[in-house]
């Protein structure tokens, strides 16, 4: 059998070969004069598919940010600015894996300059002829016979790599001469070994402009035409000095540099700070010392945005497209400084940084002189500027004595974001300030005009950067206010009011009366608030949370035999603080609980009296009711009676059924739409239905564009697990068997529509979406007179096990919105939500099965009608039930909302 890694690699290889076939089809179409647009579409599909594969390496945010950074280097006048990749001869032995890694880059529109060695291959041939390879100072002594072998081997290895790339549909061009000019290094000592004196990049740029990867070898020519052998590492360095790429990558078998004593891989080496000390280490010697010196000499003459990576071919994508990387990253390093006078940072230097990077200055809303004047006129000690030496990242913090600090500006260059300088600056200021408030635009960026100067890093600081670093936020008219270190909502309002009144934040963020959403133009969504109001007028803060609890607590589960109970059991098994102490099931009474390893638990059949006694005596901290609709009330009433006699706080109750989703006094637990504050303060939580969750998440961002009485329609398809389970007695007294009520066989591998009108999830979605209907800014209280939201819902059951796909047809009140506008609207509305994923393509069942979040995509606007169609999906057993239940439990019990939820992974 194939190993998991081999199987994964085979799957990826198969996908790339399929894509290669698609590219060949596009070329055939060209020969038959099919339109250029159809060919471009096929190529774009290749790129989209490979980009989605890259998402498996890291977060979508990381991959897309690095893609933007690398793509921004693709200047038509200088097309070789992305990366120089030097391939060791040993790596060429696994040419299929190598070609696959390079093909990934090619298919997302990146063109690395590839240079390879062939040392091991040459040694094999030389030793086969009875000659021992000779080295002096690590340099191969090259006589005429050795050079003859070198030329043959280089050509063979070069063509082998080019051929492997071409098989994958990746165009490649062999370049074995014409790039390097050299003189003899020391002919008496080394023979025909060259020292590079000139690099001609024209053959490389011509290859890239022709759409082919340039594949080079390290042979050079003298001015007299003599072929000379050049060390491949040296040739790669000289090539990098000429091209000045963002990345210089050395592929080797080890996949990085390793500590000589501990044996641990070195993740990052900051040469400015660590180089001198590293050279003093006793384990840094021979080849390691030589490489460090070469890297230092190389980076000293390159822009600070350049870095060196030592990595294996198999991990090339992870190194390039994720923040954590996979090999060893070598960079010049960044010393951080804290300035409290303009003289210490340099007034002119700071002026230039603000002019180039500040959004307010570029749009004309602020001036450089105004900001500098503010800093000059402030009292000593009222502000600090955190920055690295070259000012790749700058943060200005206003902190008058006795007042909460405000992050006035955060400005970063591309290299500052790419090389982690911005995060270093953030960590430095966070050490000094326990609380902080700042603002940022969350509106989707518009394309710059041809005459505007670009922000040198702002496009790399995507909106999620702010949400990831905040304890809380709220949004008004396309701009968000963020904070950390403030745990109480009322304190947040007090702080923000004070900042507004003192003018320390430049606009009003708290409600000042009803505002009207602006629909004029294609970007009307940019003025919509990200969170709608909730019934009691409290705000649905996107990420606000008190300091999370770590206190261990106990949960009882009533109704554990069904699929949802099983899924919740698995989640609680991995929860860091919650323990499952009681499980109740009439049919499984006496049998051990499966799938829970923290402690042995046996199913019991808890009666109403048992529940009341347990609540009175404080045996559990939370109850989860996983019972059929209409069965839950006696148990909830028992909890109510017991809690009245209980010392201290009563337990939290989460009902997974529909009994309390319309009840006053119960909190509807859909935190992404109706806020976290009410859930944290509640002891009675109604878990939303699976279909209703997807329906509401689909519709909420679009509600400002709905014009009653035109109501939306949702067509839903779910797996057969959504129909529930039945239990049959086991044979000869064995454990009872849980089976699905509806089987794939009964569906005859097809689908079955059911409950075509008046489905309970239809009523549920409409009831709760009414709270959001026609709320202009998301910060005003909901009026009692507004119309009730109506939803047409048609459910269907299909022959797959789990997962829900909901297709929304939504009538629009305007014709000004494009599909990209609406996709951006979803991104803005759900910015910072860790269980919401927005994708370009139509979600498929495989995109939602075993996933803990909700996904939306496939936005299409009807060409003739004012109507948009969007597809959303989730796993009905997870985000549709168990995962959402755990979100609600975490919030109500004071934990981090996502504790025990593998946010970016799958259920084990």
The 10 Å Cβ neighbour count of residue 552 is 11
Rounded Cα–Cα distance for residues 354 and 409 (Å): 9
Q: What is the mean pLDDT of residues 720-748?
A: 69
Query: Which pairing describes strands 479-484 and 578-584: parallel, antiparallel, or unpaired?
Result: unpaired
| pLDDT, tens digit, 9 for 90 and up, residues 646-703 | 887 899 999 998 889 888 889 999 999 988 888 998 999 999 999 999 999 999 999 8
pLDDT value of position 469: 84
Q: What is the mean pLDDT of residues 342-352?
A: 90
The 10 Å Cβ neighbour count of residue 241 is 17
> Read out DSSP for 532-573?
---TTS----SS---SPP---EEEEEE--SSHHHHHHHHHHH
Per-residue confidence band for 414, with pLDDT thresholds at 50, 70 and 90: confident
- Whether the pLDDT of residue 176 is over 60: the answer is yes
| pLDDT, tens digit, 9 for 90 and up, residues 73-103 | 555 556 667 889 999 888 888 898 899 889 8
- Whether the pLDDT of residue 204 is over 90: the answer is yes
- Whether the pLDDT of residue 486 is over 90: the answer is no
Burial class (CB in 10 A: 0-12, 13-18, 19+), 458: buried
Active-site amino acid positions: 690
- Whether the pLDDT of residue 65 is over 70: the answer is no
Largest CA distance in the chain: 100
pLDDT value of position 457: 45
pLDDT value of position 502: 79
pLDDT value of position 419: 67
Q: What is the mean pLDDT of residues 337-357?
A: 89
For the ranges 52-66, 78-92, 502-516, the one whose mean pLDDT is highest:
78-92
- Whether the pLDDT of residue 786 is over 90: the answer is no
> Which residue, 113, 115, 140, is CA-closest to 126?
140
Rounded Cα–Cα distance for residues 106 and 162 (Å): 13
pLDDT value of position 715: 93
pLDDT value of position 737: 66
Per-residue confidence band for 584, with pLDDT thresholds at 50, 70 and 90: very high
- Percent of the chain residues topping a pLDDT of 70: 77
Give the distance from CA 348 to its chain's centroid.
Answer: 37
pLDDT value of position 139: 83
Instruction: With H, G, I as helix, E, B as strand and everything else as coil, classify residue 350.
Output: helix
Indicate the class that CATH gives domain 93-101+112-231: alpha beta
Per-residue confidence band for 454, with pLDDT thresholds at 50, 70 and 90: very low
Runs of H (alpha helix) within 258-301: 271-280, 286-300
pLDDT value of position 544: 39
pLDDT value of position 458: 45
Per-residue confidence band for 319, with pLDDT thresholds at 50, 70 and 90: confident
Classify residue 882 by its DSSP letter.
I
| pLDDT, tens digit, 9 for 90 and up, residues 763-775 | 888 888 888 875 3
| pLDDT, tens digit, 9 for 90 and up, residues 232-274 | 989 999 999 999 888 899 998 888 888 888 888 888 888 877 8
| pLDDT, tens digit, 9 for 90 and up, residues 826-872 | 988 888 889 999 998 999 999 999 999 999 999 999 877 788 999 99
> Which residue, 133, 135, 169, 168, is CA-closest to 153?
133
Which is more confident, 61 or 105?
105
690-876: CATH superfamily: Dihydrodipicolinate Reductase; domain 2 (3.30.360.10)
Residue the block writes with tokens 């009207």? 516
Are 864 and 565 in contact by the 8 Å Cβ rule? The answer is no
First to last CA, the chain: 21
Classify residue 835 by its DSSP letter.
T
Are 88 and 252 in contact by the 8 Å Cβ rule? The answer is yes
* Percent composition of the chain: helix, strand, coil (DSSP 3-state, to 5): 40, 20, 40
Strand partners, 85: 114, 249
**To the nearest whole number, what is the mean pLDDT of the chain?**
79
pLDDT value of position 514: 30
pLDDT value of position 19: 45
CA distance to 20, 372, 419, 516, per residue, from 352 (Å): 47, 11, 21, 38
Residue the block writes with tokens 């022709």? 210
Indicate the class that CATH gives domain 553-686: alpha beta
Strand partners, 183: 195
Runs of H (alpha helix) within 358-488: 359-362, 368-377, 414-418, 421-432, 463-469
Burial class (CB in 10 A: 0-12, 13-18, 19+), 380: exposed
The phi-psi region of residue 325 (left if phi > 0; otherwise alpha if psi is between -120 and 50; otherwise beta) is left
- Whether the pLDDT of residue 745 is over 70: the answer is yes
pLDDT value of position 542: 35
> Which residue, 695, 828, 716, is CA-closest to 772?
695
For the entire predicted model, the pTM comes to 0.46
Q: Find out if CATH 3.40.1370.10 is the number for domain 336-510.
A: no
pLDDT value of position 524: 24
- Percent of the chain residues topping a pLDDT of 90: 33
pLDDT value of position 372: 87
pLDDT value of position 827: 87
Q: What is the mean pLDDT of residues 50-76?
A: 58
Classify residue 525 by its DSSP letter.
G
- Give the sheet arrangement for strand 227-229, strand by strand: 194-199, 180-184, 219-221, 227-229
pLDDT value of position 411: 92
> Which residue, 211, 87, 237, 227, is CA-closest to 160?
87
- Whether the pLDDT of residue 40 is over 60: the answer is no
């Amino acid at each position: 059998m194939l190993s998991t890694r081999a199987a994964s690699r085979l799957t990826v290889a198969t996908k790339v070969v399929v894509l290669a076939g698609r590219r060949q089809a596009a070329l055939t179409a060209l020969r038959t004069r099919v339109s250029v647009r159809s060919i471009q579409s096929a190529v774009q599909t290749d790129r989209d598919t490979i980009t989605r594969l890259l998402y498996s390496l890291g977060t979508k945010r990381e991959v897309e940010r690095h893609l933007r950074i690398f793509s921004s280097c693709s200047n038509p006048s200088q097309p070789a600015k992305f990366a120089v990749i030097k391939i060791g001869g040993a790596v060429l032995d696994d040419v299929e894996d190598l070609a696959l890694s390079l093909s990934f880059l090619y298919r997302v529109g990146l063109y690395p300059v590839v240079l390879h060695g062939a040392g091991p291959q040459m040694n094999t041939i030389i030793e086969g002829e009875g000659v021992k390879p000779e080295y002096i100072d690590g340099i191969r002594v090259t006589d005429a016979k050795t050079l003859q072998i070198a030329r043959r081997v280089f050509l063979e290895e070069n063509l082998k790599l080019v051929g492997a790339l071409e098989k994958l549909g990746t165009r490649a061009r062999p370049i074995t001469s014409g790039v390097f000019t050299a003189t003899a290094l020391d002919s008496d000592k080394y023979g025909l070994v060259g020292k590079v004196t000139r690099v001609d990049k024209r053959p490389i740029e011509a290859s890239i402009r022709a759409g082919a990867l340039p594949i080079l070898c390290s042979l050079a020519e003298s001015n007299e035409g003599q072929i000379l052998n050049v060390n491949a590492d040296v040739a790669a360095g000289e090539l990098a000095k000429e091209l000045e790429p963002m990345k210089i990558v050395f592929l080797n078998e080890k996949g990085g540099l390793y500590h000589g004593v501990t044996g641990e891989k070195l993740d990052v080496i900051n040469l400015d700070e660590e180089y001198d000390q590293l050279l003093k280490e006793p384990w840094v010697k021979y080849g390691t010392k030589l490489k460090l010196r070469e890297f230092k000499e190389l980076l000293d003459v390159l822009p600070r945005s350049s870095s060196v990576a030592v990595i294996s071919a198999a991990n090339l994508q992870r190194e390039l497209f994720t923040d954590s990387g996979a090999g060893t990253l070598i960079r010049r390093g960044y010393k951080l400084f804290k300035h409290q006078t303009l003289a210490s940072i340099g007034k002119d230097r700071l002026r230039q940084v603000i002019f180039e990077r500040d959004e307010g200055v570029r749009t004309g809303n602020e001036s450089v002189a105004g900001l500098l004047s503010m800093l000059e006129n402030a009292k000593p000690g009222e502000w600090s500027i955190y920055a690295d030496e070259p000012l790749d990242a700058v943060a200005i913090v206003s902190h008058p004595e006795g007042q909460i600090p405000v992050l006035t500006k955060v400005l970063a260059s591309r290299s500052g974001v790419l090389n982690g300088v911005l995060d270093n600056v953030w960590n430095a200021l966070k050490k000094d300030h326990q609380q902080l408030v700042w603002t940022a635009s969350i509106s989707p960026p518009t394309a710059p005009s041809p005459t505007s100067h670009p922000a040198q890093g702002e496009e790399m600081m995507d909106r999620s950067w702010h949400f990831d670093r905040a304890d809380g936020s709220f949004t008004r008219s396309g701009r968000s206010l963020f904070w950390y270190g403030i745990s109480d909502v009322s304190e947040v309002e007090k702080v923000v009011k004070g900042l507004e009144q003192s003018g320390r934040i430049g606009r009003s963020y708290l409600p000042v009366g009803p505002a009207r959403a602006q629909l004029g133009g294609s970007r009307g969504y940019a003025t919509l608030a990200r969170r709608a109001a909730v019934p009691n007028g409290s705000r649905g803060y996107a990420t606000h949370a008190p300091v999370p609890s770590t206190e261990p607590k106990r949960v009882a589960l009533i109704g554990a035999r069904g699929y949802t109970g099983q899924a919740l059991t698995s989640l609680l098994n991995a929860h860091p603080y919650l323990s499952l102490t009681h499980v109740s099931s009439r049919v499984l009474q006496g049998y051990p609980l499966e799938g829970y390893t923290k402690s042995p638990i046996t199913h019991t059949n808890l009666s109403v009296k048992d529940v009341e006694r347990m609540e009175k005596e404080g045996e559990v901290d939370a109850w989860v009711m996983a019972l059929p609709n209409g069965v839950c009330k006696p148990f909830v009433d028992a909890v109510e009676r017991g809690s009245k006699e209980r010392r201290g706080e009563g337990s939290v109750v989460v009902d997974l059924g529909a009994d309390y989703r319309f009840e006053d006094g119960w909190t509807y637990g859909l935190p992404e739409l109706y806020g976290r504050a009410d859930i944290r303060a509640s002891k009675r939580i109604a878990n939303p239905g699976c279909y209703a969750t997807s329906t509401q998440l689909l519709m909420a961002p679009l509600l400002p564009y709905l014009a009653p009485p035109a109501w939306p329609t949702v067509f839903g398809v779910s797996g057969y697990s959504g129909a529930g389970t039945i239990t049959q007695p086991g044979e000869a007294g064995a454990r009872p068997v849980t089976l699905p009520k509806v089987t794939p066989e009964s569906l005859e591998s097809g689908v079955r529509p059911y409950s075509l009108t008046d489905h309970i999830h239809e009523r549920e979605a409409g009831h709760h979406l009414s709270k959001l209907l026609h709320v202009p800014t998301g910060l005003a209280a909901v009026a009692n007179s507004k119309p009730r939201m109506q939803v047409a819902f048609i459910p269907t059951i299909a022959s797959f096990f789990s997962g829900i796909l909901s297709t929304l047809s939504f009538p629009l009140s305007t014709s000004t919105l494009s599909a990209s506008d609406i996709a951006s609207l979803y991104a803005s509305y759900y910015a910072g939500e860790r269980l919401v994923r927005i994708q370009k393509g139509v979600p498929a069942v495989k995109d939602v099965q075993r996933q803990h979040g909700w996904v939306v995509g496939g936005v299409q606007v009807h060409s003739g009608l004012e109507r948009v169609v969007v597809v959303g999906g989730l796993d009905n057993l997870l985000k549709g039930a168990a995962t959402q239940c755990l979100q609600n439990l975490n919030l109500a019990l004071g934990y981090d909302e996502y504790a025990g939820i593998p946010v970016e992974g799958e259920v084990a």
